[in-house]
Amino acid sequence: MAPANYGNCPVLASKLPPRAGIGLKPQHFRDVLETRPDVGFFEVHAENYMVSGGPFHHFLGRIRELYPLSLHGVGLNIGGAEPLDEAHLARLAQLIERYEPASFSEHLAWSSHGGVFYNDLLPIAYDQSALERVCRHVDVVQERLGRTMLLENPSTYVEFSSSSMSEAAFLTEVVRRTGCGLLLDINNAHVSCVNHGRDAVSYISSLPLEAVGELHLAGFTRDTDASGAPLLIDSHDAPVDAVVWELFGGVVTKLGPLPTLLERDNNIPVLPFLLAEARRAESLMAVGGDCRGESVRGLEQVP
C-alpha cells in the first residue's frame, strides 16, 4: 500500500463528527433508544458483535440508524508474531459491510499467540522487525477492509531493553509507512508516561498529531510498583481523571475539536453520568480546551 502524504493533508481515516461520543453498553441499549441522547457517536467493541443474531444486532442496528458508529477492535492482534487471523478479518469485514461504521480502529498491541486469545492488550518491543510486522499487518487490514484504519497508542506497564526506538517514533513510522490514522488515547498516554517516568505532554507532542482521527478518554486505577513508584492501571472503570482532562484540553487547543470517546468498560454507571462526561468534553472543545471555564464546572454535578 502506498504511503499516505499526511504531511500535506490530514489523514481522513475517520468520518466521525468532531464531537464527543460514548461507548455503547448492552445495559444502556433501551435507554439510548428511548431517550435518544444528543451525543456525536457511539463506539462498540467489534468482537462483541461477532455473533449470528439476537439482541446485540437488534439494538445496534436500530441505534446505528440514529447515530454514527465507531467500530473498535480489541482482538485483531496487530502486534502479534503470527500472520493476522483470516477468519477474524472476514468477521470484521462482514460487520463493516453490515453497519458501515464511520471509523474502524485497533490497538498497537498483541492479544493472541499460538492459538490462544489472552483478552488483554499486550506490549511489544519497539524494534525494526516489530515495525515491519506491524506495518505489514496494518497494510493487510486496510487492504482487506478497503478503508484506512486508526491505530491506538497503548497503555503499558513494562518496557523492553531490546526496543530500539521510542513508542512515539514507532507510531510515527507506522503512520508514515501505512497511511493509517492515529487514535490518540489520552488516558493511555498518561498511564504509560506515569508508569515509565516520562512527561505526557512531551510524549503527546512527539506523536504524529496531524494523523489523529479520534481521541479516547477514560479512567484508571492507582497502584504501585515493587519500589513504591506509582503504577497506573488502564482499568476503564472510573470517571476521567483531572490530569487526563487537562491533557485533553491541551490537545484540543492545539488540534481543534476531534471525535472524542468517553470509554467505560467496567463498573458502568447509569447513562446520564456518561452523557455528562461527554458534555464536558464538548464544552472543553468549544472553549478551546480551557479547563477553568464556568460551563465545565457546572457539568461536574452528575447523578
62 binds another protein (CB under 8 A): no
Evaluated on CA atoms 201, 203, 209, 213, the torsion sign reads: negative
Q: What is the largest CA-CA distance in the chain?
A: 53
Any idea which residue has 497503555 for its cell?
Answer: 155
Separation of alpha carbons 46 and 147, rounded Å = 16
By CB under 8 A, residue 81 contacts another protein:
yes
Q: Pick from 2, 9, 158, 242: which binds another protein (CB under 8 A)?
A: 158
Q: From the list 23, 40, 68, 80, which residue makes contact with another protein (rule: CB under 8 A)?
A: 80
Which residue from 93, 145, 209, 231 is in contact with another protein, where contact means CB under 8 A? 231
| Residue 8 near another protein by CB under 8 A | no
- If one asks whether residue 125 binds another protein (CB under 8 A), the answer comes out as yes
Residues 3 and 179: beta-carbon distance below 8 Å: yes
Answer yes or no whether residue 223 interacts with another protein by CB under 8 A: yes
Decide if residue 197 touches another protein (CB under 8 A).
yes
CB 224 to another protein: min, Å: 8
Terminal CA-to-CA distance of the chain, rounded, Å? 49
Stretch that binds another protein, among 128-136, 174-182, 239-247, 279-287 (CB under 8 A): 128-136
- Would you state the torsion angle of the CA atoms of residues 46, 52, 58, 61, taken in this order, to the nearest 10 degrees? 50
Size of interface with another protein, in residues (CB under 8 A)? 60
> How near is the Cβ of 243 to another protein at its closest, in Å?
19
Binding region for another protein (CB under 8 A) out of 11-19, 121-129, 204-212, 292-300: 121-129
**Residue (of 83, 131, 82) closest to 108 by Cα position:** 131
Residue type, 29: F
Q: Are 179 and 147 in contact (CB under 8 A)?
A: no
Q: Which of the 8 DSSP states describes residue 117?
A: E
Contact residues for another protein, defined by CB under 8 A: 47-48, 50-58, 74-77, 79-82, 88, 91, 110-120, 122-125, 127-130, 133, 157-164, 195-198, 223, 225-227, 229, 231, 233
